[in-house]
Amino acid sequence: MSDSRISFVPLIIGFVFFVSTLFPGISFAGSIAVIDVTESSVTAADTSTYTFKFTPSSTINSGNWGDGAYFQFDFDNDFTVSSATLGSISPGVTGMAINNRNDSTAKIMMYSSNGSAVITGGVTYTVVINNVQNPASPGPIDAHTVRTFNGNGQVDIGSIAGEDIVAGASNPPAVSSQIPDKSNLEESEGVTQYVANLNNHFIDLDGDTLHFTASSSDSSTVGVSLSGANNRTLSLQAKKFGSADITVTATSADGFVDDTFNVSTIGALGMNSVSSSSNTAGQTTTLTFSLTLETASSDSNGDGAYIYFDLPSQYGVTDGSTTVTVSSPSVAGSTHVSEGLSNVWFIASASTIPAGTYTVTISHVTNPGSAGSYGNANVDTRNGGGTTYDKGSIALPTIGASNAPTVTSPISDQTDVQERDGVQQIVADLNNHFDDADGDTLTFTASSSDPLTVGVTTSGTNGRILSIEAKKYGSATITVTATSSDGAVDDEFDVDAIGELVINSISSSSDVASQTTDLTVNFTLETTVTDSGGDGAYLYFNYPSQYGIDGSTAISVTSPSVPGTTHQSAGASDVWFIASASTIPAGTYTAVISNVTNPSSGGSYGNLELDTRDGGSTIFDISSSALPSIAAGSVPTVSSPIPDETGLREFSGTQETVSDLNNHFTDGNGDTLNFTVHSVGDSSIVTAALSGANNRTLSLTALKSGTTTVTIRADDSIHGTVDDTFTVSTIGLLQNASVTPDTMLAGTTGSFDVSLTNESAIPMIGFIHVDFPNAFDVSGVGLSNFSGGGASAAVFSKDEANAVVNITITSGSVPAGTPVSFALYNIVTPSTTGNPGQYYLWTTDGTDTLDERFVNGDTFSQSYTVTYEGNGSTGGTVPTDSNTYGLGDTVTVLGNSGNLVRTDYKFNGWNAAADGSGTAYAAGTSFSMGSENVTLYAQWLDDFPWMLFIPAFVRPQQP
């Protein structure tokens, strides 16, 4: 920016003050400090970029007003802003964009309605505005003004002087030499430099530096790129068949100029592969190409759609013999040949050959006359009018010299070829064992030295498949001959054959799984079995592995009888017979194999294989036949599940729960079942034991309170086992349980001390139950002195009819093994004497019974009372003895606690008789209670002197 610029800030501030005074409805909050403005050009009529740097004094928050934050830039009126664009704002304001341009006033308004938009006071903003056109004439510029607004109006304003507009040269560039069109640009060439220096085709009269850009009318067909200083180097790239116009633009400060030229292209033909049916010099071959057409070959003028092959001149093509075939997919058409040029082409019957991948064969092509590499086959697609669509090239196979066939991999000798297998293919393609270096086709024949023992045949194309057939025991030599146009070669191999015996029948004494059986086999030997090494003549029986052979298995041969011995291989289910004589003549025999164990489950298990052999490795005849199917043996089943056992009591000891487990299990084969305790879920709760024949009787013993499972297994010892699981819940046994009354008298109210030790923990809201004999009265029962693991308890309820007291744990719990004691009071003993029965104690967790115990009951005796009589008293009260006494209890005589009096008498103790004739008792003395209630009578003494003279009579003493 020029130093001569004048800041208009004071003028604007004064103007704002004037306007706000004159028009009080308009409010200006502050000023903008415009720091700088720069221009990319100050030349008249130039398009320039203006960069403003300014600092507003006020913050505008779009969200506070709800209707936006604004920037406005006022240029001098001679500027044109209709094409102006926003380059950048730093720092950014969310959503800010140009929303109004006014050429008449040269104003640009920017606006954001985003609620997050903020113009921050005190922050310096840099705003770049592109494409502003300078005034058409040179001259001074008054000022550029920056404003900020919110939805209610202008907030801040500031100005800065503009740079003077100057006159300048205004000659745009011109084309000095048109760029020529480019024909047949090939895709296979890739990126190709076309013009090294575009300055050779453009000129700027003002001497301005030119900058170049370029574009393609169809970039998918022709690509264009620029490089070098000011992009002066032009390169082209064909991407497919077609054409495109390339426009090059030269630009200076005064304008630009275009030059357009055309490019036509040839696409790339995909040359996927080529193979030859013969690579031998001078031979006729078929060339097979895999081609991918990028572009459809179209007949544009009635001359046809072509695939054109240009072979090296050393290859021969013949009109009338050489044929081109297009397949995969098939395309109908005709072949045309140019013999002298080694060219051959295919013209489609249809007007187009669509883009895609094809297999093309050229038959009856003559290879070059000598070995060597002859270069590439060039292929293109075209129409008859000369238009080439796609082109490609691929190297042809190397040509070799002429040679006779050779053996590359000798055919292996064949051992143990079995007559029963019939004709067997042993070589699928003899070409894998022979070779012709020239690639000539080989034809195969074969012969046998003994066709009665081993036959041989060839089949398939040119006899390339080799098969042999054993016809009896013996051996033969097979000769295979491979023949080509250049000669023949032989390969020999030996075949050892095994004859076939005939198994006429097989029967079994038992076809049930796991049972022992005797197998009878009737068979016919084709060949006499001969002991050639002194090891014996064998009949060898091989069972499937599921059959069992052991030391008891034996073989006997009859009809006719052949003496011999039996030998076993238990692990392999093999058993064999060794004849006592050195031979077993050819003929029909019956063999019985005894004590063989059938498979353990039903089904078909395949064949019994029988062969004849000597003690060495020679096998004469062999055959196999299906064994009888095995019927399934049944495993035991649960016929009636063992019922769950509930409330098994520990105090009852061992209890027989199932007398005969055979009532709960069954075996379909009638096999005897043996029983075991397979498992006990928790052996600390219960034990299970079996006894009796085959362990058929089940007994259980509860060890403590709990619930667990017991699994009983039934085993038939042949086919398998079955399990039955049932649940056992137990009631444990309270330890150290006692109930102690404080009275043994019938019909009296007393307290009972209860103690016990529980095996299982009693939780809070669990219970301790005390069941008295029904003769007790528990209606007024109370609980005291409870002790047990820190828990607290209370009487929860009482069953008066059955004399049961239910005590609940109100807080805490009683751990297992913890002694518990408490007293129950206000219990009335039975009204009759004797022992009314046992006490029953049990604990629960609120639902299930945990532990229990019966405690021996007490014997209660008759109770007696002591009653005091006044015996003529005239005042006071007799004492009351509220106690009851049993026979022999000590009674303490009460005193005259009620101050009994009798007029003219004084109290003199107690007597068992009213008249004093019984036993006298002084206060505080004691006696033993007898067998009846006792009444004690007050005794009185006359309160007069011992000698009293009465004039008229003597007054007798009152009783």
pLDDT tens per residue across span 916-927 = 999 999 999 999
Say whether 594 sits in a helix, a strand or coil: strand
- Cα–Cα nearest to 805, from 789, 825, 788: 825
Closest CA to 678 of 645, 727, 715: 715
Residue pointed to by tokens 């705003």: 127
Residue 65 lies in a domain: yes
Contact between 436 and 484 under an 8 Å Cβ cutoff? The reply is: yes
Q: Are residues 927 and 833 in the same domain?
A: no
Select from 933, 951, 873, 931 the least CA-distant residue to 906.
873
Residue of 244, 226, 243 whose CA lies nearest to 235: 226
Average pLDDT score over the chain:
89
- DSSP letter for each residue of 588-600: EEEEEEEEEEPPS
Strand, coil or helix: 198: helix
Residue that is last in its domain, among 266, 300, 333:
266
One domain, residues 646 and 770: no
Res 954: pLDDT: 40
Q: Do 671 and 710 belong to one domain?
A: yes
- Report the alpha-carbon distance of residue 38 to residue 129 in Å, rounded: 11
pLDDT tens figures, 595-626: 998 888 889 999 999 999 987 778 999 999 99
Range of the structural domain that residue 221 is part of = 174-266
At residue 253, the pLDDT reads 85
207: left (phi over 0), alpha (psi -120 to 50) or beta: left
Note the pLDDT tens digit of each residue in 205-218.
777 899 999 999 99
DSSP 64-88: HHSS-EEEEEE--TT-B-TT-EEEE
Q: Which residues of 265-285 are buried (b: 16+ CB within 10 A; e: fewer)?
A: bbbbbebeebebebbbbbbbb
Distance in angstroms (rounded) separating the CA atoms of residues 163 and 39: 8
Residues 239 and 350 grouped into a single domain: no
Task: Give the model's pLDDT for residue 23.
Answer: 35
Backbone angles phi, psi at 831, to 5 degrees: -80, -15
**Tens-digit pLDDT profile for residues 278-301:** 888 888 899 999 999 999 988 877
23 & 99 share domain: yes
Is the Cα torsion angle 812, 817, 819, 825 positive or negative in sign? Answer: positive
Is residue 949's pLDDT more than 60? no
Q: Which of 669, 660, 671 is nearest to 712 (CA)?
A: 660
Q: Is 467 a member of any domain?
A: no
Q: Which residue has the higher pLDDT, 76 or 385?
A: 76
Tell me, rounded to whole angstroms, the distance of Cα 340 from its chain centroid: 70
| Residue 425 domain flag | no
Strands 934-942, 153-160: parallel, antiparallel or unpaired by DSSP? unpaired
- Rounded Cα gap, residues 132 and 148, in angstroms: 20
Which one has a higher pLDDT value, 823 or 440? 823
Q: Is the peptide bond before 91 cis (omega within 30 degrees of 0)?
A: yes
Half-sphere exposure of 52 (CA within 13 A, CB side): 30
Specify the amino acid at residue 323: T
Alpha-carbon span 441 to 431, nearest angstrom: 9
Higher local confidence (pLDDT), 956 or 390:
390
Tell me the per-residue pLDDT of 118-160, one tens digit each, with 9 for 90 and over: 899 999 999 999 999 988 788 888 889 999 988 777 888 998 8
Helices then strands, counting H and E runs in the chain, come out as 2, 76
Q: Answer yes or no: do 121 and 211 share one domain.
A: no
The stretch 477-490 carries a mean pLDDT of: 91
Tell me what the mean pLDDT of segment 711-734 comes to.
91
Asked whether 70 and 156 are in contact (CB, 8 A), the reply is no
- Please check the confidence at residue 946 and state whether its pLDDT lies above 50: no
Number of neighbouring beta carbons within 10 Å of residue 418 = 17
CATH number assigned to the domain comprising residue 797: 2.60.40.2110
d(CA 350, CA 346): 12
User: How many C-alpha atoms does 410 have within 13 Å on its Cβ side?
Assistant: 9
Residue 951, preceding peptide bond in cis (omega within 30° of 0) = no
Structure tokens at 720: 């398998």
Amino acid at 702: A
Q: Would you state the pLDDT for residue 170?
A: 67
Which of 855, 876, 905 is the last residue in one of the domains? 855
The answer to the question of residue 631 being in a domain is no
Q: What letter does residue 695 receive in the DSSP assignment?
A: G
Residue 412 located in a structural domain: no
Which among 706, 826, 833, 841 is positioned nearest to 772, based on CA atoms?
841
Minimum mean pLDDT range among 168-177, 353-362, 585-594, 711-720: 168-177
Residue 17 neighbours by CB distance under 10 Å: 11
Read off the tokens for 920: 């006298």
What pLDDT sits at residue 725? 97
- Cβ 690 vs Cβ 698: under 8 Å: yes
CA distances 408 to 205, 405, 459, 478, 931, Å, are 81, 9, 21, 17, 134
* DSSP conformational letter for 832: S
Instruction: Specify if 468 maps to a domain.
Output: no
The pLDDT confidence band at residue 67, using thresholds 50, 70 and 90, is low
Q: What was the pLDDT predicted at 570? A: 63
The pLDDT of 637-645, averaged and rounded, is 95
Instruction: Choose the final residue of a domain: 575, 591, 626.
Output: 626
Q: Does residue 527 share a domain with residue 612?
A: yes
**Domain check: are 202 and 311 in the same one?**
no
Residue 326 is part of a domain; what is its CATH number? 2.60.40.740
Number of residues written out for the chain: 959
Region 328-357: what's the mean pLDDT?
Answer: 90
Average of per-residue pLDDT across 557-576: 87
Phi first, then psi: give them for residue 10, nearest 5 degrees: -60, -40
817 and 894 in one domain?
Answer: no
Mean pLDDT of 751-775: 95
Q: Report CA-CA distances (Å) from 184 to 196, 293, 387.
A: 20, 17, 9
Is 424 domain-assigned?
A: no
610 neighbors 524 (Cβ within 8 angstroms)? no
Residues 830 and 741 in one domain: yes
**Is residue 700 classed exposed, middle or buried when 0-12, 13-18 and 19+ CB atoms within 10 A define those classes?**
buried
Sign of the alpha-carbon dihedral angle for 909, 915, 916, 918: negative
Give the model's pLDDT for residue 683. 95
Tell me, what's the pLDDT at 512?
80
Q: Are residue 524 and residue 590 in the same domain, yes or no?
A: yes
* CATH number of the domain that residue 31 is part of: 2.60.40.1170
Phi and psi for 20 in degrees, rounded to 5?
Answer: -70, -25
CB 268 within 8 A of CB 294: yes
Amino acid symbol at 122? G
Domain count, the chain: 7
Predicted pLDDT at 169: 59
Q: What is the CATH number of the domain that holds 703?
A: 2.60.40.10
Order of strands across the sheet that contains 465-470 = 423-427, 465-470, 454-459
Is residue 352 in some structural domain?
yes
**How is the beta sheet containing 516-525 ordered, strand by strand?**
502-508, 516-525, 587-597, 554-558
Residues 800 and 827 reside in one and the same domain: yes
